[in-house]
Structures are given as C-alpha cells and as structure tokens.
Structure 1
C-alpha cells in the first residue's frame, strides 16, 4: 500500500514537471477547516432546500473518517510539494480570508512568472540541459534473414488473423486495454500492416488514430495531451498510425521545437508510457517499420506511376527523402532512448511487405498472450 501511494505521488510529480517544463504555471491549494467546522457547513447545506442535494451519504462518510484522512492528506501534500508545483495551505474557516489568500497567491505567482519571462528574454538565459534516459541499443535492418513466398505469407496471415480475433475477444472481455503504435519511413507499409492486423477484429473493440500535424488548438496544450486523450480504456485496442514520437522525429529534424524540448521529450515519453501501463493494467506495442533507401525510392516511383496510388505520394515525401540522413540519426536516438523494459520497440524488417505483416501480427499476439 505504501509503495503504491509513493508510486502515485511520483507519477503526479512527473506529470506536473512536464507541464512546468512546457511553460505552465502550477498552483495547488488545500483549503483546510476543522472537523467541527465541516460538520456545521454540511448541516447548514442540508437545511437549505437549494443546497441539500450537495450533501450525499458519501459526503457524510468522508466526514466520519475525517481524522483517518489527515495522515493520507499530509503524505500527499508533503510528497508532492515541489519548487515547480508548490502547495499552499489556506486556512478556510474565515471565507473572506481564504478568498483573499487565494487571490494574493495567484497574483504573486503570475507577477513572478511575468517578471521572470521578461528577464529571461532580456538576458537570453540558456535553458538547463535536460537529463537523458540511458541508451538501449536497438538493431535496425530492412531485410529479414530469409525470403518468404507470397503464398507462405498469405497462409501464415490467415491463421494469425483468426487467432487475433479470438484473443481480441478475450482482451475485451477481461477489460485489458492495448496500445499499438506504428512509426516508420514513408512508404514503409504502415497502413497495409494495420489493415492486416485488424482484418477480422470486431470494430466495436478497436479504433485507429491517424496522426497528422497538430491543429492550432492542439498547439496551445502540452504536446502529449492530444495523444493521451485517445488512449484506450477497458478492453479496447487503440492503433496509432504515427504517434507522439513525432516530437523526437519530424519536430526535431524540421526544427518545429527547440533542442531542449525534443531532448527532454525522451524522458517525458518514457514516463508517460510507464504511467499508462502501470495505471491501466494494459500493454503497449511499438513498431518501427524499417526499409532501405533504395526500396523507398522504388515504392515512391511505383506510387507516382500508378493512378490508383498517386494520391499517396506528395512533394513533402520527396523533400523528407532528401533529409534521410538527418531522420536516420533521429530514429537511432529515438529507439535507443525510448526502448524500455516496459515498452520496448520492435523493428519490423519491411522491405518484404508479407514478412513485415506476419511479424507484426505475431508480435501483437505474443503481447496479448502475456497480458492474459
């Protein structure tokens, strides 16, 4: 129990630290009243027909355990009182005093932030270098060891898709969520791979999240928010066609965020993934679809010359190809910094599409079997 509470407090601290690093001002208030004052206010509300509905049996039950709750409250306040997200205890017996203290604290904090931003701009203060997660070498290659015929791949896919259907029902029945995240080179076959994984799955139990550039509204928030909003609950499977790793790939290479931002993102992402898996009881599969530069060119040319596929190729795809070496380095760093024991990367050798689809399905099935 104590270990569980400590873990929750640490996850709260990590979350608040991410918000702070992203520029958020965090103020936390605990309004304290005595047990006697709480009882007086509850009785006062009960006597008023307009507020009686606010006082439920659950509220009275919390009141009865007032003394028992104090050590837990003190633990969380002490454990989560940090320089970047401090607690303020407000003596709330006198309501006017409480309101005054709240306003005064908020005003001082905002004035301090405004003054700090002004000084930083004038002095061009350099941001502190973020700490990096340790590197775990992840081997990359685009071609599998052996060659597989189209017939062999189709036969293997058929049986695996049936097994996936059965396991999906068990996952849903036991309310275990699963995330499958796809990253890879342009034209590596992410869409086709997803289609084969979901071939016989019940659409009531899974959904695909196609990820594009953030909207103007989404850019107003922490970059992880738009992804976390789509994380699955219960027994659902969420499949991300590209993911939060854009922060350390395209945003890094194209300078859409600062270097301290993308360097800090490795630890933020690892923490977010660990928190989700531990708190939900679910799992996470992360695929990197690797193809050679030569195979990508062949697929680009094939798309450009096929009227049914030409919509898949854009000027941006050709431009990104010219920056292959920059992306290649970013991919190496991403795999090394974010392949963890709890959420490892699986590299899919994708020069052979049939092999890639079989390996992806096998990996998902193995993960589900472990979760069950």
Structure 2
C-alpha cells in the first residue's frame, strides 16, 4: 500500500524562506550525487489540472543546469513511434553523476499507447496510434482496462525496465501529485488567477472518477522496493506544493547518498569476484554437439550463394514494404568468418534499408551508462535492418573473462539481455543471433594464414592471440551464454564454420526462412522472378 507523504508545515510557515533553505540543500545534494557518480531519475506524474509544470520548475531552479536533463513526455514523434516503446525512455536515462527529470514518463504514455493498441504490439505495428487520454481511460470500462493481458504486460515491462537500471546503480524518486476532490475546484479557481494556463478540457470530475481507478492500480503495481512511489496531495498553495515536493526529493536524495557512501570500499575494484570458472574447468553445453565436419563444395556453394542472395534481396525488400524491422547479431570466435558472412548478406541488400554496426571497446562516455545503453541507437526503425558485428553479449564473454565487470554484474546480465531482446521482439522486430563456431585447431590455422598474408595481417592483433590462450574459459562462457539466452523469439543459431562456404550458406538460408516465416502470406506482395 502506498503511503501519503505529509510534510509537517506549520500554519505560519514562511515558504519563501523555507524554499531558500531547501534550494541550498538541494544544490549541495546534487553535487554530492555527482561526486559519488550516482545516476538519478526523478519522475513526476499527476493529474492534469494541478499544474505539474510549475511545481517541477521550482525544483529545477536550484540545480546546476549542467548536471541535469529535463524531459517533457508528450506524444511520440514519427521516428520515436518506430522503435520499441520503452527504448524511447531508455535513451534518455542519465549517465553516472547526472539527474534526469521526467515531466510525465513511461507511465502515462504507456497507458495511452499500450491500452489503445489492440494489436498487442507497439511502435511499428501501429503508426497511426491515437493518443487521447480520455479515450484510453474512459472508452473501455475500468475493469476491462485493468484486467487484461496487455495491462499486465505493460506493468511488467515498466518494472523490468526500472529494475535493470536500479541493479546498475540508477536510483529513482517517483512522485505522484494528486488533488483531493474537495480541493480541486478551489485549486482551479485560485491557480487560474496566478498562472495563465487553460485547464485541460479533459480534466473533468467525470473523467477523473473513471481514470483514478486505473491510475491507482498502476501506482500499486509499480510501487516496488527499488522504485517506490511518493504520493503527495497538493492544495491551492503553489509555494506549499513546491516546498513539500522538494522536501520529498531532499529526504530521498539524502537516503540514496547515505546508501552509496556506506557501500563504498577503498580499492574494491571489480577484479576479485570471478572465481567460479578456473582455467582448466570447461562447462559442457550446446557447443559440444556441433558437427564441424560439415562442408559445401565450391560448385554447390556458388549455386546456392546466388540462389539465397536473390531470395534475400526480395525478402529483405518485403520487410521494408511491410515496415518490419530486423536485428541480426553476429558473435563467434576470432577468425570464425563473421565479417565474410556479413559481407555476403549485405551484397544482397539495398543500402538504404540496412546498417552494419561494428562493436568495439566501450568509450569513456559509454562507461557512464548502463552497458546496454550504447546499443540502443542501433535498434532499427520500421522496415530497416541492423546487423551487429559483435554485440551486448560481450558482457558475458570478454568482460566476464577479462574481469572488466563483477561476477554479480555478468550473472545479472543474462536476464537483462533477455529483457532487452524481448522488448524488441514484442514490438515486432525479428531478432536472429548467430554464433560462428570453429575448432581451436581451425582458428590457429587461420591465424597463421592471416599472419603470412600482407593483405590480411591487419585483421590479426596481439589481443587475438591472448584471447586464444583463454580458449577453455571462453568455451565455457559461450556454452552458458547460449543456454541462458536462447529464447523462443530470439534464438541462437550455431553455425558450423570450419568450412566458410557452408557457414555463409547456412546464415543466408536461416535469414531467408525466418523472414518468410514472419511475413507469411505478406510475402506474396513481392513477385520473385524465376530464372537466372
């Protein structure tokens, strides 16, 4: 049950002086949070005629403008509407030491967009989505709104999103500003004289009575230990409302900062916790049963390459016409043929509709965010394809093996990556993940060949040789990764890549068959010509 916050102000409180005191304290806390590198999200939700904007503005004035970003959440732009719902907000999460303040957020937009969408998929699946709050909350009966699989899915999506951020160090202060029935009419009269805003025409008592049932349910279901709600009822005194809200923020920032300081340990580092897997210990798994003897004769390869590239050219264009996005993820051993397979894919695609995203070492800026943040920009809009040459799975491979993150962090990452991919697939994005698998002996053979070829020497680095020395550790990590992230909607495809010809054909065939399966009868819109 959510408890109401009631700051204890006396009747003769001088709010002007109190706000000066609070403002100084808030500025100090902002600087402390920055020094401790705490990313902080402050969410404001509330009813329309209580002038949230004015209350929020009073909170912003004491802050250093270089240390916060303000986001007003309105109807999505045409581009935003082409990507998964929660990713719009994930792109706006703050880096370490910064504050993100949301004037309404994923809560109200989620109610409007998800509950109006009958298709159970969002973003690309419904580009003409209505955004009328009155329609979303009053057209269906309240019980019908709450007791649906779609509503439950929205609540889980929000909770998973906040939990993922919390686990990585982000802290939340969520404030719902309400107004009691007896104060609403009085507030509207008083505030209308003070602030030149028009009361939203949808903010009537009739709508409020219907909406509040749904809103209460949202607050209850998203009131978690890691991101609790603060319920604050305000009256006609804007100064009191601003002071009361600022006190909530100050009190919670103090608690957050105290928690961060108590967890600090000198030179704790991240290098001492990964102890489960030793150098000689190999975890069995899916790679053990792969038949690496599979080959494709050169003559057969040329024939099939031409066949599948032609099919891919038309099926990929069919994705574009049907506004269906696709993500291809390539992981695998060094020298396993990821680049050559990607090359054969894009040879068949229109460059207007695809993007290859090579993933390297995270930058200093990347490191200030949740590790998944740097992959968000590559999530494709409707009808486009993104091809990741390495991906977020580095978290549970190279970062795990090289001890660049803690054991707790990489263990937690499996679930986080499943949530990340689920957000994509539930929005209609096709996700195919390839693990390019070769034997240790074949890798050595290719390393030597590269070292002797002046045109390919640039592909081989000292790091490649170092990684090879840790083959057993990586082998175990890959087995565990595939087992824990091989989902129905985003499956792993293990590609037998000792023979590059066989590997390329398998990759092309997998993509074509998946597109045909996803589009079904819609593929008929494309006339694939016969003959050469």
Give me the TM-score of the superposition, normalised by structure 1.
Answer: 0.88
3-state DSSP of counterpart to 2:489: coil
Aligned to 2:417: 269
> In the TM superposition, what whole-angstrom CA distance separates every residue of 1:216-235 from its partner, at most 9, and x where no partner exists?
01111111111123211211
Contact 1:183 1:241 in 2 (8 A): yes
CA distance in 1, matches of 2:317, 2:186: 48
1:24-39 equivalence runs, <5 A: 24-33=170-179, 36-37=184-185
1:62 to 1:300, Cα distance in 2 relative to 1, 3 A = farther
- Alignment partner, residue 13 of structure 2: none
Selected match of 1:86 from 210, 224, 228:
228
Instruction: State which of 191, 212, 223 in structure 1 corresponds to 2:360.
Output: 212
Which deviates more, 81-90 or 35-44? 35-44
Tell me whether 36-45 or 142-151 shows the greater mean CA deviation.
Answer: 36-45
The equivalent residue for 2:494 is: 347
Corresponding position: 1:60 with 2:201 = yes
Ranked by relative contact order (alpha carbons within 8 Å, sequence separation 6 or more), the top structure is 1
8 A Cα contact 1:179 1:239, kept in partner? yes
SS of aligned partner of 1:287: strand
Shift of 1:61: 3.9
Structure 1: gaps spanning 5 or more residues: 125-134
State the alpha-carbon separation in 1 of the partners of residues 187 and 286 from structure 2: 60
**For 1:36-89, what per-residue CA distance to the aligned partner results, in whole angstroms no more than 9, with x for missing partners?**
4599379949x94xx67xx7xxx5346573333222211211110101001112
Closer, same or farther: CA 122–330 of 1 in aligned 2, 3 Å: closer
Equivalent pairs counted in the alignment come to 356
1:105 aligns with 2:253: no
Q: CA separation in 2, counterparts of 1:320 and 1:337? A: 23
Ranges in structure 2 where 5+ consecutive residues have no aligned partner: 1-144, 269-282, 520-532
Cα distance in 1 between the residues matched to 2:415 and 2:190: 45
Give the TM-score of the pair, scaled to structure 2.
0.63
Distance 1:345 1:335 in 2: 7
Give the superposition deviation at 1:364.
1.0
Give distance in 2, aligned partners of 1:24 and 1:153: 51
Which structure is larger by alpha-carbon Rg, 1 or 2? 2
Instruction: Indicate the residue corresponding to 1:17 in structure 2.
Output: 163
Aligned to 2:507: 360
Q: Secondary structure at the match of 2:201?
A: helix
Distance 1:300 1:122, change over 3 A: closer
For residues 113-124 of structure 1, the aligned pairs below 5 Å read 113-121=256-264
Moved more, 242-251 or 341-350: 341-350
- State the match for 1:306 in structure 2: 453
> 1:336 aligns to what?
483
- Cα distance in structure 2, aligned partners of 1:168 and 1:41: 58
